[in-house]
Chain A
């Protein structure tokens, strides 16, 4: 089947990266082209799944070291699993003793779990909004900068469902009117920030913080 040249615009349309004119043109097109519409619908569904289940689908990328295990396979085969377990237990014991004796100098970046995401590195401190009962829709979200060249992903949730998300290299996001209009007074929202290294690995996560506001404007 011949490929429709509008197909190339599907992703950009779904991520809202087209300018107004291109967007209109593409929208008119998919009202007229069932093939493009079907493809777009499938891509949309796929992205929806990726967004909703990403942390579980892409576990390997969150904890990059796990994926390298394959190279270690010949080494792993050297001992049986039971022997490995024994070795691990002994190693752990030695480590505990050693750590107790040697005062730890430089700590290598720790690993911890937040909301099922395995995180290596530090956590992010959220700056504002961190209080309840704001008097209007928060227009700016701000958090502590970690270091340069980090990409932050901001998530806003309503109850447990993702309401809005964006990425930035700054340590704050200013919401547009459109985004602000997604939020209504007297409802509970929460927000969270994740940080990614230039290689795209998750390196830090903030705890989710709740907020709500009492009146709109």
Chain B
């Protein structure tokens, strides 16, 4: 304990940032890549090592410090994985449709809650998230202003968040 610089609570940092790092890794290399968990573990080990060595000097926030380590590791991973570095722009990858759905009951419950929403909110979710239309396109389709679209999306989200937090 004494050896740690400035009494950094490593456990708390790992507990707080592990989900954030996992999210970022999954989004970049895809949940389909079975190595994603290894990459997260490596990053967390790396973070702890660097903190123990006192490499974090507080020039930036701890979040940014961990973000930088994460980004570097992801770039390495992608380089190693695909030696052909042709980064064509990804058209539209919503890559993780099933990632949260491990918990089927919860997913079904959320789905039921969406289904019970008023048609005007359901319709917005359908066009905006399911069909992935832009706010402007949705606005045109429904003959309302883009601002209205945002308001409805936000409101629908607010209703669902209540359900999801339970």
Contact = CB atoms under 8 A, between A and B. Distances in A.
B127 A200 contact: yes
Contacts of A167: 92, 131-132
Contacts of B153: 11
Contact of B164 (A45, A60, A168): A45
A101 B38 CA distance: 69
Given A14-B94, A32-B63, A41-B23, A196 B131 contact: yes
Contacts of B32: 158, 163, 182
A58 B130 contact: yes
B81 to A, nearest CB: 7
- The contact size tier of chain A is 35 or more
Contacts of B161: 42
Nearest to B135: A11
A167 to B, nearest CB: 6
Given A32-B61, A53-B107, A166-B92, A42 B130 contact: no
Given A15-B92, A37-B23, 17 more contacts: A14-B94, A15-B132, A16-B90, A30-B20, A31-B24, A41-B23, A42-B157, A45-B100, A45-B110, A46-B114, A46-B160, A50-B129, A50-B130, A165-B92, A167-B131, A182-B32, A199-B141
Interface of B: 16-17, 19-20, 23-24, 30, 32, 61, 63-64, 66-67, 70-71, 81-82, 84, 86-101, 107-108, 110-111, 114-115, 119, 122-123, 125-133, 141, 153, 157, 160-161, 164-165
